[in-house]
Copies of this chain bind each other. A is one copy, B any other.
Amino acid sequence: METSLQLRSLVKSSGELELSLAQVPVPQPAADEVLVRIEAAPINPSDLGLLLGPADIANATVSGSGADAVVTAPVPQRFMGALKARLDASMPVGNEGAGVVVAAGDSPQAKALLGKTVAILGGATYAQHRIAKASDVLELPAGATAADGASCFVNPLTALSMTEVMRREGHTALVHTAAASNLGQMLNKICIADGISLVNIVRSAEQAKILKDIGAKYVIDSTAPDFIAALTDAIEETGATLAFDAIGGGKLASQILSAMEVAANRKATEYSRYGSSTYKQVYIYGGLDTGPTELARNFGLSWGVNGWLLTPFLMKLGADAAKLRARVAAELKTTFASHYTAEISLAEVLQPEVIAAYARKATGEKYLINPNKGV
């Protein structure tokens, strides 16, 4: 039986994370399925939770080498309770990716995809091969490579969903944090094209320049001394009452709500003891700062802070989600183009210095795995 490599993440009940490459059988597609040879799969921040968990990567050790390397890292005891459901189960990793259809089932839809470059979503993409339903893959437009399409689900659909949430929940402008990220750049392109005012919060002058260069109007540097004043002015000017926050920890969500409240009260003519009646919402969709979220509650009583996750929102969208996917395909090499810091092989995913680089989640840095590179 033919086998190929698949990356595995295992948390042992003894308190260790183990990363390795498994030799797994290459499956045969059923009638309505295709077999994809994965050539590109991004490491998104949302992949790192499953891949590395809360392991102490700085103290990782490696045994073996190349495709036989096994990385072991300690998991601090305080996190073990939350990992109960995955203990001692070797798990495949990778939310999304793209590659070439190398085998197809008998259904016409499957057969039509043979030889095509397609993108897939749904796990286990850090592998040389993966089976998918023909109806679930996204055929890339002619001329698009697997690398072009590797990130065409998570970031593009998240960015588009932010503007969908805005419209559905009655807001008219947006605030976004860690705004120079790949996702943030896409969001700027969408908002510029759609005429939506977007207040970008970044953490350095370099990040501000990235966004200014692609035409962003409101770029606020949270490390600048006038951060709060500049944020409040931008929120007042745009009327933004909705924010998507990738940082999570610290005071930023609170500062955004507070700036929205001050902006709302600047327009108020009458004192309300409970603060403005303007509803202010922050969705936390990432955790670049894993510390606690600190809410000063100096923004009245009309506010919400919620966790936000793409998949349940797409399920709520139902049939409308197809419109978002179609826009992604149509604008794959423009609005939704991703930029990668480096393309790495499956064996390189297991090298400690490479782990340290992709685990850093630095804004503007993104790694692309090519499971069929160098093997």
Residue of B nearest to A304 (CB): B306
* B85 contacts A249, C-beta separation under 8 Å: no
A309 to B285, CA, bound (A): 26
Query: Interface segment, A32-40, A64-72, A206-214, A294-302?
Result: A294-302
Take A271-B89, A274-B309, A304-B304 as given contacts and tell me if A287 and B297 are in contact as well, using a CB distance cutoff of 8 Å. yes
Copies in the complex: 2
Take A273-B50, A304-B304, A304-B306 as given contacts and tell me if A294 and B297 are in contact as well, using a CB distance cutoff of 8 Å. no
Take A85-B265, A85-B272, A265-B85 as given contacts and tell me if A302 and B298 are in contact as well, using a CB distance cutoff of 8 Å. no
- Collect the chain B residues with CB atoms within 8 Å of residue A304's CB: 304-307
A304 to B281, CA, bound (A): 10
A259 to chain B, nearest CB (A): 12
- Collect the chain B residues with CB atoms within 8 Å of residue A312's CB: 277, 302
* B85 contacts A271, C-beta separation under 8 Å: yes
* B265 contacts A84, C-beta separation under 8 Å: yes
Residue of B nearest to A249 (CB): B297
Residue of B nearest to A93 (CB): B273
Residue of B nearest to A284 (CB): B297
- When the two chains form the complex, which single residue of B85, B265, B269, B270 contacts A270, counting CB atoms closer than 8 Å? B85
Check if A293 is an interface residue, CB within 8 A of chain B. yes
A271 to B49, CA, bound (A): 12
Take A295-B292, A297-B292 as given contacts and tell me if A306 and B307 are in contact as well, using a CB distance cutoff of 8 Å. no
The binding surface of chain A is classed by DSSP as mixed
* A292 contacts B249, C-beta separation under 8 Å: no
Residue of B nearest to A85 (CB): B271
- Collect the chain B residues with CB atoms within 8 Å of residue A265's CB: 82, 84-85
- When the two chains form the complex, which single residue of B82, B271, B290, B295 contacts A86, counting CB atoms closer than 8 Å? B271
- When the two chains form the complex, which single residue of B262, B269, B285, B305 contacts A305, counting CB atoms closer than 8 Å? B305
Residue of B nearest to A265 (CB): B85
* A307 contacts B300, C-beta separation under 8 Å: yes
Residue of B nearest to A82 (CB): B298
- Collect the chain B residues with CB atoms within 8 Å of residue A326's CB: none
Check if A23 is an interface residue, CB within 8 A of chain B. no
- When the two chains form the complex, which single residue of B89, B293, B308, B309 contacts A295, counting CB atoms closer than 8 Å? B293
B-binding residues in A (CB < 8 A) = 49-50, 81-82, 84-86, 89, 91, 248-249, 254, 262, 265, 268-274, 277, 284-285, 287, 290, 292-298, 300-309, 312
Would you give 29 A-B contacts (Cβ < 8 Å), ordered by A?
A: A49-B274, A50-B273, A81-B262, A82-B265, A82-B298, A85-B265, A85-B268, A85-B271, A91-B271, A248-B297, A254-B292, A277-B312, A284-B297, A285-B301, A290-B297, A292-B296, A292-B297, A293-B295, A294-B295, A295-B295, A300-B307, A301-B308, A301-B309, A302-B307, A302-B312, A304-B305, A304-B306, A304-B307, A305-B305
Q: A295-B295, A302-B309 are in contact. List 13 more A-B contacts (CB 8 A).
A: A49-B273, A50-B273, A85-B265, A85-B271, A85-B272, A86-B271, A284-B301, A290-B297, A293-B294, A297-B307, A300-B307, A301-B308, A302-B312
